[in-house]
Amino acid sequence: MRALRPVLHAAALSLALAASPALAQKNTERDDARAIQGMIQANLAEVEAGKLASQKAQRPEVKKFAEKMIEDHGRKLEDLKSLADKKGVAAPDKPSGKHEAMLKKLQAAPDDQFDRVYMSEMVQAHQQVLQDTRKVAREAQDADLKAAAQKSAPGTEAHLKMARQIAGEKGAASK
- On whether residue 16 sits in a domain, the answer given is no
- On whether residue 24 sits in a domain, the answer given is no
3-state secondary structure of 89: coil
- On whether residue 37 sits in a domain, the answer given is yes
Domain range enclosing 89? 29-170
Q: pLDDT of 45-75, one tens digit each?
A: 999 999 999 999 999 999 999 999 999 999 9
- On whether residue 85 sits in a domain, the answer given is yes
- On whether residue 22 sits in a domain, the answer given is no
User: To 5 degrees, how large is the angle CA 133–CA 102–CA 136?
Assistant: 10
Give the predicted TM-score (pTM) of the model.
0.80
Q: pLDDT of 122-170, one tens digit each?
A: 999 999 999 999 999 999 999 999 999 999 999 999 999 999 999 996 4
- On whether residue 165 sits in a domain, the answer given is yes
**Are 126 and 166 within 8 A, CB to CB?**
no
Q: What is the CATH number of the domain that holds 123?
A: 1.20.1260.10
- On whether residue 159 sits in a domain, the answer given is yes
- On whether residue 60 sits in a domain, the answer given is yes
**Are 169 and 72 within 8 A, CB to CB?**
no
Q: How many CA atoms lie within 13 A of 20 on its CB side?
A: 6
Look at the chain and report how many structural domains it folds into. 1
